[in-house]
Amino acid sequence: MKLKTMILALPAWLGLFGAVAMAKAPVPAHPEKINYPAFTYELPPASQFRAVLSNGLVVYIAEDRLFPTFDMSVSLRVGGAIDPEGKAGLAALMGEQIRDGGTKSLTPEELDEKLDFLAASARTSIGDTRGRSGLSCLSKDVDAALALWVEMMRYPRFDEDRLRLAKERRLQNIKRRNDSTNSIQGIEWGFLMNGEDHFSNRYPSSASISGITRDDLAAFHHRFIHPGNMVIAVAGDFDRAVMLKKLEQVFAGWPIGETGPTGFDAPTHKPKPGVYVLHKDDVNQGRVTIGHKSIVRGGPDEFALQVMQGILGATGFRSRLVARVRSNEGLAYNTGARYEQGVNYAGDFTAWFQSKSNSCAYATQIVLEEINRMRDEKVSQQDVDDAVAYVVESFPQRFPNKMAILRTYLADEHTGRDPKFWQSYVDNVKRVTPDDVLRVAKKYLHPDELVILAVGDASAMRAGGHDKAPDLRLDGFGKVTELPLRDPDTLTR
């Protein structure tokens, strides 16, 4: 901008412009002076959407008529956690092949063609503790698409050729587990926290994948994939009563079988504090994770812990870790912390960053200082207010559409959380005080139990050499164990 323009613009910046231009409101001197219209948001209760079909299937249903579309989301009570001994990967493979392997009356190619011709998307995937399925189409095609979905879920063909190709793909991808520091870190952190034997660390190997047969898929499917293990959410351009009738029809006669897993074993492993370093060739940035085991959700300190994690590292740039590691020191593009409250068993507390090899030690020191500070100093009321506002003010945005509301209730139904949880959520978060934050930090953050995992150029990370802390080394934070990379197939070493 030229000087002349700048000067001409000055009256506006001095707040004079409003007086010159008629009927224009003046600009408040600071955004804090803006008067916002009142606004309250109330999340509609689960009961408004919940229906039960005659076979006992729970359906969350909402009309959403702005667009001529139909969407269905299904939660499945099944998971890799119950893969039979020696068959790790069975549940996941079965989930994929329900969609890919054709149906009783349709070859895989025919099923693909029919869905693609309708421009419908049918999806199925199975994780460790939960499976998911879904269907999306234009509302004019809902009958045909639903019929295909039911056929696929109820009568999968598990075509041998498709199964073979899927197994070959997995066998090849298994070899790629050590390609990125991201993948190495994710796998190793799981082992450090939950131990070698926990189901969450049971990965498919070439042996387990090779041993899975079509009969295994069919038997597993027969046991667990039925309406008794489903919760369903549907939203779109339909009449609620008509859609419920339709769902009654498509699920009619589908027998209910064995109940899928409802609980999952907690790990018995006790993580060993210390510094663990894994070397990866040809990278100039280390990936560091610092943390320990946390707790299960639903306890008396659930909301205070949320605010605590927010102040430490989960409110973006407002958080202490981002302010120091990134904004003040320029050490990392990505840093933060999370106190995960597990659904089935204790989750993990983690803080993380990625930084050039020689500054990993310096950034680690800052993260440790901030973890200790949460325990040593009471946070300010402003800290709490901001962390609470971060969560509370954006609460309506968790639910940008009907399906987002339904999915929330669907997940709660699946995991057994009180459906009223969200109705009191905002008030519960607002009640948290600085004293609460200090109390839970002292109770739930354990600096003496911290595990530090660094993946990258091992010797450069250990050597340190940041210009602000030239003598600081990773070895200064505890006993360093340099671990070789795991065999990507068996994940043993």
Partner 1 sequence: MSGRRRKRNAGIWVAASALVLTSGVQAWGDAPTRSSGIQPKVVTMKNGLKLLLVERHEDPTVAAGMFYDVGAVNDPAGQSGIAHLFEHMLFKGTHIIGTTNYEQEQSHIRKQDELRDQMNTEMDRMRDKKRLGEIDDVLDPAQWSPEYVEMNARYTKMVESHREFVKNNELFNLYTTNGGAGLNAGTMHDLTMYFVQLPANKLELFFWLESDRMVNGVMREFYVERDNVREERRLRTESTPTGKYDEAFEALFWQSHPYGTPVLGWSSEVESITRDDVRKFYQEYYTPNNCILVLVGDFKTENVLALAEQYFARIPKGEVPLRPVITEEPPPIAERRFYAEADTNPRVRMRFHTVAIGHKDEAVLDVIGELLSGKTGRLYKRLVTEEEAALGQPRAGNQGRKYAGYFEISVTVKEDRTPEELEQFVIAELGKLQHGEITDYELEKVKNQVLSSSVRRLQSNFGLMFQLGLFDTWHDWTYINESPERMLAVTADDIHRVMAKYFDPKTRTVAIYRTKEGGGPVEAVDPELAKLLEDVPPEAHGQIKAAIKQMQSSDDIKQLREQSGMMEQALASGQVPEDRQAMLAYFVKIMKTRAEALEASKKESD
Please report which helix (H) or strand (E) contains residue 352, including its range.
strand 348-356
Tell the smallest beta-carbon distance from residue 77 to partner 1 (Å): 28
Contact region with partner 1 (CB under 8 A), list: 64-72, 88-96, 242-250, 256-264: 64-72
Burial class (CB in 10 A: 0-12, 13-18, 19+), 134: middle
Q: How far apart are CA 451 and CA 192, in angstroms?
A: 8
Nearer Cβ to partner 1, position 193 or 387?
387
Which of 119, 147, 241, 252 contacts partner 1 by CB under 8 A? 119
Which of 50, 123, 132, 356 contacts partner 1 by CB under 8 A? 356
Tell the smallest beta-carbon distance from residue 349 to partner 1 (Å): 23
Tell the smallest beta-carbon distance from residue 137 to partner 1 (Å): 7
Q: What is the length of the chain?
A: 493
Residue type, 376: D
Q: How far apart are CA 324 and CA 332, in angstroms?
A: 10
Cα–Cα distances in angstroms (integers) from residue 304 to residues 325, 349, 435, 443, in the given order: 24, 14, 10, 11
Which of 129, 194, 354, 364 contacts partner 1 by CB under 8 A? 354
Q: How far apart are CA 93 and CA 97, in angstroms?
A: 6
Residue 13 touching partner 1 (CB under 8 A): yes
Query: 153 to 192, contacts with partner 1 by CB under 8 A?
Result: 165, 168-169, 172-173, 175-176, 178-181
* Tokens (6 digits) for 233: 């959410």
Give me the helix-helix angle, 90-100 and 160-174, nearest 10°.
130
Q: How far apart are CA 476 and CA 462, in angstroms?
A: 9
Which of 139, 213, 365, 423 contacts partner 1 by CB under 8 A? 139
Residue 68 touching partner 1 (CB under 8 A): yes
Residue 285 touching partner 1 (CB under 8 A): yes
Residue 389 touching partner 1 (CB under 8 A): yes
Residue 107 touching partner 1 (CB under 8 A): no
Tell the smallest beta-carbon distance from residue 123 to partner 1 (Å): 12
Contact region with partner 1 (CB under 8 A), list: 73-81, 110-118, 247-255, 260-268: 110-118
Residue 196 touching partner 1 (CB under 8 A): no
Cα–Cα distances in angstroms (integers) from residue 205 to residues 159, 213, 404, 488, 489, in the given order: 22, 15, 36, 9, 5
For residue 81, the 8-state DSSP code is: G
Contact region with partner 1 (CB under 8 A), list: 115-123, 189-197, 256-264, 340-348: 115-123
